[in-house]
Amino acid sequence: MTNVLTNPDRFFAELSAKDTKLMAPSVIVLVAAIVAAISAVMMVNVMMSSLPEEVSEFAGIGASIGAIVAFIMQFIMWLLYTGVFYVISMFFSGEGSFKRCFEFIGYGFIPSIIAAIIGLGVMMTVLPTIEFSVENPELFSQTLMSNPLMQASAVIGIFLMLWSANIWIFAIKHARNLSSRNALITVGVPVGLYLMYSISMMYMMGM
């Protein structure tokens, strides 16, 4: 399993000779989803604690909804990344099943677990020091994103996303029988656009 992080080309080459199994990648995405759900609960609780008492009674419902959405989003992103890579690889005459792509792309979420754990730790440290204002919710976002720990976490998240992209390059290379160049384009274009969007959003939020 460590080869997927240190030598993904060899890892997926060896895995290609085996039957498709979704158990391992499902567990990887599941762990990332659980950590993301915990972070969402913490965020919702901070916001709800500043609301009027009659409204804050619904904090549990809000936290549950936030956790469910954050949990499901990880699996949606898994499916979305696979779908985008699969479609782009069709322009390079890629060969290989969608299920095999789905399996291999799931392994690329390992860095997401690291990012989620770091993000959770930062949230646990930063959120208790910030008050959420109903009158000025934008101030909460600006204060949160201007925190040095949040900024460091965001930068680390970008590097971990690039790590995931590196894994996905070799994943799609072997899942769809592409050349290294075509695999790089297949993954690099959508991930690059996503990172540009994420960086622009962070800039707009005051980072």
pLDDT digits (tens, 9 = 90+) for 137-178: 666 667 777 778 888 888 898 999 999 999 999 999 999 999
Give CB contacts under 8 A, 24+ apart, made by 85-90. 85/168, 85/172, 85/176, 85/186, 85/187, 85/190, 86/176, 88/185, 88/186, 88/189, 88/190, 89/172, 89/176, 89/178, 89/182, 89/183, 89/186
Mean pLDDT of the region 195-200: 86
pTM: 0.86
Domain of residue 36, residue span: 3-204
The gap from C-alpha 195 to its chain's centroid, in whole angstroms, comes to 12
First to last CA, the chain: 36
Instruction: Note the pLDDT tens digit of each residue in 114-126.
Output: 988 888 888 778 7
Q: Determine the pLDDT at residue 124.
A: 78
Please choose, from the candidates 90, 63, 83, 77, the residue with its C-alpha nearest in 3D space to the C-alpha of residue 30: 77
CA dist 160 and 106 (Å) reads 15
Q: Determine the pLDDT at residue 54.
A: 58
What amino acid occupies position 200?
Answer: S
Q: Determine the pLDDT at residue 134.
A: 56
Mean pLDDT of the region 189-193: 94
Query: DSSP per residue over 103-145, as a string?
Result: HHHHHTTHHHHHHHHHHHHHHHHHGGG----SS-HHHHHHHHH
Whether pLDDT at 206 is above 60: no
What's the mean pLDDT when you consider all of the chain? 85
Overall domain count for the chain: 1
Whether pLDDT at 62 is above 90: no
Instruction: Please tell me what DSSP assigns to residue 95.
Output: -
By mean pLDDT, which of 84-88, 128-132, 185-189 is the weakest? 128-132
- Quote the percentage of the chain above a pLDDT of 70: 83
Show the DSSP H helices in the chain as ranges: 3-6, 8-15, 23-48, 53-56, 59-90, 98-107, 110-126, 137-145, 148-175, 180-204
- The token duo for 199 is 């960086």
Q: Determine the pLDDT at residue 63.
A: 73
CA dist 160 and 196 (Å) reads 15
Q: What is the three-class DSSP state of 150?
A: helix
